[in-house]
Structure 1
């Protein structure tokens, strides 16, 4: 029996290429395509695909938020990120959001199909480049304080939440209605307060310490 697949990528030519690779095997049934997160959610809710191949960098709804909502409407679907980005902070956010696997588009066709087959069988596949970086991040996380975010202002918390959701400086600035320069300033400040080395550690720390559901006391502004 063929594995049902939903393809999610804002580039039609990429979707066509992946569909062709899947069709050749005779093992997959591509039941839908989407060029943005919202369309993907609607299709997943209607068709309940067994496997979703998803790009993270799309217009509108972020890839990380799309993953969360896909699993809400179709909890039985396996989510495999197929991304052109090798940004480890974004990969970490995607995996924490519920993606079971993370692949890179630069992989050769045969290698890609082999990994998709393994994912369809229930294996968790993380591209070695990403896996090695995530391992370093996890090993580098500091021991938590009683309230690890108590020194941050509300605005710094907002910036960290957006960062942990996979937001770039531009996206964070737009979401919070502030300048990119201000975003950079807040990131520098929160890294210093949390004793973290870089954005990657900040993302890992935020997810590890439950910031996305964090409701602490009032912060200074």
Structure 2
């Protein structure tokens, strides 16, 4: 059972999300929060697996709340769900440690899939946001040849697919590999890049231009 906490200042939005998720097998909404302060407090008390986090909230925003949750022991996964796809909003959320970034215009199916993927340890970025990240982060820091050289060609393919927001299952399908083989490649990528998790690996790929220089394409 995936335990979910909903953090959004709009009660109607929370109500709609709760009704949607209540109908999904294997997902349970364990709490709600109307601002960042409540979100952190509720997450620490309820220990959800995933926090669906809005960005623009009163008292405290979702970015700073996410940053606090990343420092917590046994921290939850955070899926940002927002109306705003401005470059600085995306950048701030991912830098804070968010595991996924989805726009509120996403379909119910996309949201449920994203929650399941984030809970499973995948990094999720909607295709529209991925395109913006490619454009805004390409060459921002510059190539990191030393770490990039540690990756095999197949590991590089897997990392670029991760940067597109693909799950392990989707990567396996696109690269004609087994899911277990993909998981092994992901583990090697994290170790070779010396990063904590998939999200940090994706951030590295964007900021060094590694993902942008690849041959992968975003598919709607």
- If the length of structure 1 is used for normalisation, what is the TM-score? 0.61
The SS at the match of 1:107 is: coil
- Matches for 1:109-120 after TM superposition, within 5 Å: 109-120=108-119
Q: By how many angstroms is 1:127 displaced?
A: 0.8
Q: Is the counterpart of residue 3 in structure 1 residue 15 in structure 2?
A: no
Question: Any conservation in 2 of the 1:41–1:73 contact (CA below 8 Å)?
Answer: no
Tell me the distance in 2 between the aligned counterparts of 1:50 and 1:38: 18
Structure 1 regions of 5+ residues with no counterpart?
145-203, 209-221
**Counterpart in the other structure of 1:134:** 133
Question: Any conservation in 2 of the 1:45–1:74 contact (CA below 8 Å)?
Answer: no
Summarize the Cα distance change of 1:24–1:43 in structure 2 as closer, same or farther, 3 Å threshold: same
- Matches for 1:88-103 after TM superposition, within 5 Å: 88-103=87-102
Question: Any conservation in 2 of the 1:37–1:61 contact (CA below 8 Å)?
Answer: yes
- Matches for 1:56-205 after TM superposition, within 5 Å: 56-141=55-140
- Residues 36-57 of structure 1, C-alpha deviation per residue, up to 9 Å, x if partnerless? 0101111111111110000001
Once the two structures are overlaid, the 10-residue window that deviates more, 13-22 or 63-72, is 63-72
The SS at the match of 2:23 is: helix
| Matched pairs, number | 145
Q: By how many angstroms is 1:86 displaced?
A: 1.1
Tell me the distance in 1 between the aligned counterparts of 2:74 and 2:98: 11
**Counterpart in the other structure of 1:25:** 24
Q: By how many angstroms is 1:120 displaced?
A: 2.0
Tell me the distance in 2 between the aligned counterparts of 1:60 and 1:96: 21
Summarize the Cα distance change of 1:32–1:106 in structure 2 as closer, same or farther, 3 Å threshold: same
Tell me the distance in 2 between the aligned counterparts of 1:129 and 1:110: 16
Question: Any conservation in 1 of the 2:50–2:115 contact (CA below 8 Å)?
Answer: no
Tell me the distance in 2 between the aligned counterparts of 1:3 and 1:142: 36
**Counterpart in the other structure of 2:50:** 51
- If the length of structure 2 is used for normalisation, what is the TM-score? 0.61
- Please identify the structure whose Cα radius of gyration is greater: 1
**Counterpart in the other structure of 1:41:** 40
Tell me the distance in 2 between the aligned counterparts of 1:90 and 1:23: 29
Tell me the distance in 2 between the aligned counterparts of 1:44 and 1:112: 20
Q: By how many angstroms is 1:130 displaced?
A: 1.0
Considering only aligned residues, what root-mean-square deviation do their CA atoms show, in Å? 1.9
Q: By how many angstroms is 1:142 displaced?
A: 5.4
Structure 2 regions of 5+ residues with no counterpart?
144-202, 208-220
Once the two structures are overlaid, the 10-residue window that deviates more, 92-101 or 119-128, is 119-128
Tell me the distance in 2 between the aligned counterparts of 1:22 and 1:95: 24
Tell me the distance in 1 between the aligned counterparts of 2:26 and 2:10: 24
